A and B are shown apart, each in its own frame.
Chain A
Amino acid sequence: MDNPARAAILKRMTYDSDIAIVGGGLNGPALALPLAQAGFSVTVIDALPAPDRHAKDFDGRAYALAHGSMRLLDRIGIWERIEDHAQPMLEIKVSDGHAGAGPSPLGLHFDHAEIEEGPMGYMMEDRHLRGAFLDALDDQAGVTQIQARVVAQEVSHTGAVLTLEDGNVHRTRLIIGCDGRASGTAARAGITRTGWDYGQTALVCAIEHELPHHGIAHQFFMPEGPLAILPLLGNRSSIVWSESQENAAALNRLNEAGYMAALRPRFGDFLGDIALAGQRFSYPLALTIADSFIGERLALVGDAAHGMHPIAGQGLNAGLRDVGALVQVLRDANRRGEDIASSMVLARYQSWRRFDTATLAMATDLTNKLFSNDNPLLRLGRDIGMGVVNALPALRRSFIREAAGLTGDLPDLMRG
């Protein structure tokens, strides 16, 4: 009893909020909104100052939102705020390519017209999505926002106490870590991670181009790594370009003209002349999965639980699946009168998401290994495989639904 911090978590603790979300990026607000809408009091604790919300210039960052993710954003009131900025992805073309030669004519073609749900996904600029989340948080009753870094967390069977850098404490029933792949929430709870480095770097930028993209997304598998060209509104596209770490470092050192000169031959001239729009970003590719997605009075969501190779733009989409699953588990438990932070409730979230995530991580990893390769036998196998998928409509439709995020055990927030 002489330790004042322990006195704070003695029996019959009073709570500042039902749920404290650590991290105010994208998954944090995506979780806070439906939880508050379900009647929980929610506090979002973010280490970063809220950025300027007024229409900022496009900085080059964008997301590929799967159809299922769009449904979730629609249910929580975000989609209506960003709909006008969404570029539908109507088709996806996947092909083998060689640097300097552009895409080979043999490849996979997925058209949204083959499934009844609508476009496979939408491209959305980061500035619009982030701004919409911040505005929605301000408008949502039941959400409190704190700008502070969490420096300590203590958990007992009666509650959790977060200590902030200014010395204030925040008492809550449940902590949800949405603080990214270097999650402090996970580290403070002693949750270890498993993962590996790909020795590759993703170079990300946006380009303006002369000719229209017709809503077609392209994925070229180059020996060095995949290149994705994803349609943005207007004659603009988002580029995700994976290279070996050495090549990427060399490309990063180039000035804009040199960078564009290196990019141009990689996808030929089907979009006409191209120019850089916004900044250039670079992310080392590494897969990391938390060894547990839950702890005592704690759950991890998004990159804090699993950071994935962004080969198919699945990072945010997987995070939003976590959001949908966790909201449903907590809401159901609350309606039954269960303790939302009990291990039996949190275990339902973990069993729902961990298997799915591990499967996706393995599949993504294998796809990358299979395609980032110049072995002639593998190339032949790939081309035959692509031909088979193209020839079988049922198989092709299942790929389209997979890409649209409409397969697996979908949370209610993602159902049609």
Chain B
Amino acid sequence: MQTAQNTVDPAEVAKFEAMAAEWWDPNGKFKPLHMLNPCRLDYITAQIAAEFGRDLETARPFEGLRILDIGCGGGLLSEPMARLGATVVGADAAAGNIPVAQVHAESSGLTIDYRNVTAESLADDGEEFDVVLNMEVVEHVSDPQAYTTACRMLLKPGGLMICSTINRNPKSFAVAIVGAEVIMRWLPKGTHEWSKFITPDELYKLIETAGLKPVDRKGFVFNPISWKWSLSDRDLSVNYVTASLKPTS
């Protein structure tokens, strides 16, 4: 286990606590992520449970699984995985997120190994995981293919990668950029670059070229009446998620 847990300057803790409070405020600037999170977690937990034969009705069902959360931010996915019993590494390229996530995990009574590293450098170090969570990251990286290949290298044989991103079409432009950034002000302007969005076919190509086998895909659909996200088998027009496996041999 890495020892990143103890590198926090106590004088900085108050500042990090305030930033953590911001990350974890359901009505704050990460509101859209909080709204989407139950739906993302429903997908992630169901896929992991199915792939590794775990029963979600039991306590700590993910005990013994090593999970990597890439682009962990404040720990919105890392903490649930740790609470379900997994050994979690949270990686974020933004150094400022690491102590913030650490402080919050501590106060939640969770042990999570947060590191300021990229997927590529973890792969270079020979790290291996049962599950790689690659959620809303691929549309932000400069070389999606190199990044996806690094994700494959980080998986043990038979390991599971879950990857979500945003489709590229007129609807996603309207919803994700005009809607979420300009009209609703859910996200800071410039959060997304529409030209970097990825269609499901393109993502499948990235995944297959990296040497992974796509096994499932679903859309995340927002219902403006119930104000809730849900999973859809057919509608992948804006936000969508895929599961893929690393072959065992």
Cα A332 to Cα B107 with chains together (Å): 22
Chain B residue nearest to A173 (CB atoms) is B109
Q: Quick one: which of A13, A39, A336 contacts B42, CB cutoff 8 A?
A: A336
Given A158-B109, A344-B34, A337:B26 Cβ within 8 A: no
Closest chain-B Cβ to A142's Cβ sits at a distance in Å of 11
Closest chain-B Cβ to A8's Cβ sits at a distance in Å of 14
B57: chain A residues at CB < 8 Å are 38-39, 335
A343: chain B residues at CB < 8 Å are 26
Closest chain-A Cβ to B143's Cβ sits at a distance in Å of 32
A338: chain B residues at CB < 8 Å are 37-38, 41, 80, 83
Contact of A157 with B by CB under 8 A: yes
Q: Quick one: which of A11, A38, A337 contacts B84, CB cutoff 8 A?
A: A337
Given A336-B41, A338-B41, A39:B83 Cβ within 8 A: no
Is A339 in contact with B45, judged by CB distance below 8 angstroms?
no
Contact of A56 with B by CB under 8 A: no
Cα A39 to Cα B60 with chains together (Å): 11
Contact of B249 with A by CB under 8 A: no
Cα A12 to Cα B83 with chains together (Å): 13
Cα A337 to Cα B38 with chains together (Å): 10
Contact with A along B42-60 (1 / 0, CB 8 A): 1001000000000011110
Closest chain-A Cβ to B18's Cβ sits at a distance in Å of 13
Contact of A347 with B by CB under 8 A: yes
Q: Quick one: which of A11, A13, A38, A339 contacts B83, CB cutoff 8 A?
A: A339
Contact of B79 with A by CB under 8 A: yes
Cα A183 to Cα B37 with chains together (Å): 33
Q: Quick one: which of B80, B106, B109 contacts A337, CB cutoff 8 A?
A: B80
A11: chain B residues at CB < 8 Å are 106-107, 109
Contact with B along A309-350 (1 / 0, CB 8 A): 000000000000000000000001101111100111001000
**A-B CB contact pairs (8 Å), 23 listed:** A11-B107, A12-B106, A12-B109, A13-B109, A39-B59, A157-B107, A158-B107, A332-B38, A333-B38, A336-B41, A336-B42, A336-B45, A336-B80, A337-B79, A337-B81, A337-B82, A337-B83, A338-B38, A339-B108, A343-B26, A344-B34, A344-B37, A347-B26
The 6 A-B residue pairs whose C-beta atoms are closest, nearest first, are A337-B80, A336-B41, A344-B26, A337-B84, A337-B83, A335-B56
